[in-house]
Amino acid sequence: APPSHPHPITRRHLLLLSTAGAAGASTPLHPLPAVAADPGATPPDPATVTDRVFMDFSLCPSYFRSDRPLGASDLAACPDPEPLGRVVFGLYGRLLPVTVANFKAMCASESYRGALVHKLLQGQYFSAGRQGRREKGEVSPPPDLAQNTESVDPRAFQLRHLRPGTLSLPLSENDDYDQVKMDPHYRNVEFLVTTGPGPCPQLDNQNIVFGTVLEGLDVVTTIARIPTYKPAERIRQFNDLAKFLGDERARIARAIWNRPLKTVYISNCGELKVAKPSLSPSLP
């Protein structure tokens, strides 16, 4: 007797094969999917937390004072820190392995240590990790970070900025200087965290959600309440005119807009171990 087939080819399979063949040589023919062992199985959720990192946020009251102690050129060496608390981020390594790997490397190498929260849009998000000079609270990435091809992959933009505590790689909102971006070895390591209370739909499809706050949302809320520098309307109008005329000073002046009036910085950071990947308790 001929051997029996556990999954015989049906008329439906033959129809699918003939349709695929008629589509032309330019369309690759994919093999038929295997029958799932568990009919109730679901595909992996993109918001599965595979990795965790922590960041300790603090204030440095003396940092921008003219009489600050000599040698205190790095925020990480703040002589009078005022701790705000720890934030633990869960990262979506299955969906965005390169973005997550680079962010983890920045935390594990303490490259974010001493980084200034340089922008705060109240009711929306705060940003940190702009590249540049350490004495200005900016960061210098390690040389072995991978080139992030996920920034041009449509699948990287499927998660939205719906809830407070969403961790995102800023593309449209990136604040790195143009001369930094022109470096052939440039790697985007800036990040933003949404503060709530509502969603930020203006960030969707232009910035990459790759994690969420698991612990320390109260710290995020505390940062969000810090007042920021807002220029007067007349200054904005002059700046718009200077920008239209191509005056570089307009861009430099705008760099301090929406800056917190208190020096908020990352006083410590690192990686935490994850025993088993789990679904984010609060999807972004």
Q: What is the pLDDT of residues 18-76, one digit of tens each?
A: 434 443 444 443 444 444 444 444 455 778 999 999 999 999 998 866 555 545 567 88
- The average pLDDT across 204-225 equals 97
Amino acid symbol at 37: A
Q: What is the pLDDT of residues 101-151, one digit of tens each?
A: 999 999 999 999 999 999 999 999 999 999 999 988 999 999 889 999 999
Token pair recorded at residue 253: 């002046």
Q: Rounded to two decimals, what is the model's pTM?
A: 0.77
Q: What is the mean pLDDT of the chain?
A: 82
Would you say residue 1 has pLDDT above 90? no
The b-or-e profile of 116-130 (16+ CB within 10 A means b, else e) is bbbbbbeebbbbbbb
User: What integer pLDDT is reported at residue 4 of this predicted model?
Assistant: 47
Token pair recorded at residue 19: 């349709």
In sequence order, what DSSP letters do the residues of the chain get, joined into one string?
A: -PPPPSSPPPHHHHHHHHHHHHT-TTS--PPPPPPPS-TT--PPPTTEE-EEEEEEEEE-TTTT-TTPPTT--SGGG-SS-EEEEEEEEEE-TTT-HHHHHHHHHHHHTTTTTT-BEEEEETTTEEEE--BS-GGGT-B---TTPPP-GGGG-GGGG-S---STTEEEE-STT----HHHHTSTT-----EEEE--SS--GGGTTTSEEEEEEEE-HHHHHHHHTS-B----HHHHHHHHHHHHTT-HHHHHHHTTTT-BSS-EEEEEEEEE--SS-EE-SS--
User: What integer pLDDT is reported at residue 238 of this predicted model?
Assistant: 72
Q: What is the pLDDT of residues 153-169, one digit of tens each?
A: 999 999 999 999 999 99
User: What integer pLDDT is reported at residue 252 of this predicted model?
Assistant: 67
**How many angstroms separate the CA atoms of 267 and 187, rounded?**
22
**How many angstroms separate the CA atoms of 173 and 181, rounded?**
14
Instruction: Catalogue all structural domains in the chain, each as residue range(s) with its CATH number.
Output: 48-229+259-274 (2.40.100.10)
